[in-house]
């Protein structure tokens, strides 16, 4: 009986030992040992050379970790900067586009206003000139407007003077007085509606004109040119012109 009791005790002790081992394993899983303590315990069993090698590995690992962290930080900063620059560029482009569109809109509006004002001004000018010509026809019913319109010299004389201080009637009368004073021509006869008759002061056909007198044809040409001749040009023909005017007035 004693031998059987011993066997039972051995089995109980063995089971108890397994239970303790299981508890230790479970405890190690739930509460793992600190790595530094493990390394410390291991270090007690390492040689100096092994310790130096482990220290170098640890240092290299730390430096590698720091390098990766630094590179990651630099990359993040670089990407953030690139994103900010891209956003700033997009904002600047959007603002420039909006500004260009606003300026284009203002330009179109200004052009439209200017065109409207220009059209209105032209319309007013047409109405004013029409009124002046109507007044002219009332005052000078004998004048043929079509003949007057065909006179290039008169049209050139009017250039830059229309719708100024003088009316169309004033300009015509001023032109007529100048032509009559300088060339001896009567514009009332030149532009008469009834007929193209020579002036009463003209020489009779077939009459011999002296050499120092302008012919009737020359006088007609000069009458159109004189308003646009310079003082020097007028001075050259003045004597002969005066003699011609006197000659035709007598005849």
Of 25-39, 76-90, 136-150, 210-224, the range with the highest mean pLDDT is: 76-90
User: Whole-angstrom Cα distance, residue 23 to residue 30?
Assistant: 10
pLDDT at position 111 over 80: yes
Instruction: Give residue 32's pLDDT.
Output: 60
CA distance 221 to 151: 12
Section 18-43 average pLDDT: 61
Is a pLDDT exceeding 70 seen at residue 8?
no
* pLDDT above 80 for 1: no
Do residues 176 and 137 touch, judged by C-beta distance below 8 A?
Answer: no
Q: Which two tokens stand for residue 85?
A: 């620059």
Which residues lie below 8 Å from residue 156, measured CB to CB, with a gap of 6+? 228
For residue 129, give Cα distances in angstroms to 119, 122, 136, 138, 152: 15, 10, 10, 14, 19
56's tokens = 């170098």
Give 184's contacts (C-beta < 8 A, 6+ positions apart): 201, 219, 223, 241, 244, 245, 248, 249
Residue 227, both tokens:
């308003």
Q: Which residue has the higher pLDDT, 57 or 247?
A: 57
Domain boundaries, the chain: 81-139, 140-250
Question: Which of 217, 223, 132, 239 has its CA nearest to residue 178?
Answer: 223
At a CB cut-off of 8 Å and minimum separation 6, what does 145 contact?
A: 133, 137
Per-residue pLDDT tens digits for 158-188: 888 888 888 989 988 888 888 777 766 677 6
- Which position has the higher pLDDT, 143 or 72? 72
Q: Chain-wide mean pLDDT for the chain?
A: 77
pLDDT: is 62 or 30 the higher one? 62
Q: State mean pLDDT over 197-209.
A: 51
d(CA 211, CA 234): 19
Max mean pLDDT among 170-184, 198-212, 233-247 falls in 170-184
The label of the residue with tokens 């009459």 reads 207
Strand partners, 129: none
**Residue of 179, 238, 182, 247 whose CA lies nearest to 213:** 247
pLDDT for the residue numbered 194: 65
The predicted pLDDT at position 200 comes to 43
CA dihedral 48, 54, 60, 63 (to 10 degrees): -100
Whether 230 contacts 181, CB under 8 Å: no
CA angle (142, 145, 146) in 5-degree steps: 125
Say how far apart CA 8 and CA 79 lie, in whole Å.
Answer: 74
Between 210 and 128, the higher pLDDT residue: 128
Q: What is the pLDDT of residues 61-75, one digit of tens each?
A: 999 999 999 999 999
Are 186 and 149 in contact by the 8 Å Cβ rule? The answer is no
Radius of gyration of the chain from its Cα atoms, rounded to whole angstroms: 60
């Amino acid at each position: 009986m004693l031998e059987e009791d011993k066997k039972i005790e051995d089995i109980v002790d063995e089971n108890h030992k397994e239970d303790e081992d299981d508890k230790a394993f479970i405890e190690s899983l739930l509460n793992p040992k600190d790595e530094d303590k493990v390394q410390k315990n291991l270090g007690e069993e390492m040689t100096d050379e092994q310790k130096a090698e482990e220290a170098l590995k640890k240092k290299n690992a730390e430096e590698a970790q720091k390098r990766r962290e630094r590179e990651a930080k630099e990359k993040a900063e670089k990407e953030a900067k690139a994103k900010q620059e891209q956003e700033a560029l997009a904002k600047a482009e959007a603002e420039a586009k909006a500004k260009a569109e606003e300026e284009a809109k203002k330009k179109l509006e200004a052009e439209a206003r200017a065109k409207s004002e220009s059209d209105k001004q032209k319309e007013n000018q047409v109405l004013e000139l029409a009124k002046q010509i109507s007044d002219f026809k009332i005052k000078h019913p004998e004048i043929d407007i079509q003949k007057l319109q065909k006179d290039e010299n008169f049209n050139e004389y009017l250039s830059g003077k229309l719708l100024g201080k003088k009316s169309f009637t004033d300009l015509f009368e001023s032109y007529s007085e100048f032509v009559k004073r300088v060339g001896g021509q009567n514009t009332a006869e030149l532009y008469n509606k009834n007929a193209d008759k020579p002036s009463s002061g003209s020489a009779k056909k077939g009459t011999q004109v002296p050499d120092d007198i302008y012919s009737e044809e020359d006088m007609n040409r000069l009458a159109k040119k004189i308003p646009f001749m310079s003082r020097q040009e007028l001075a050259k023909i003045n004597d002969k012109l005066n003699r011609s005017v006197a000659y035709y007035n007598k005849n």
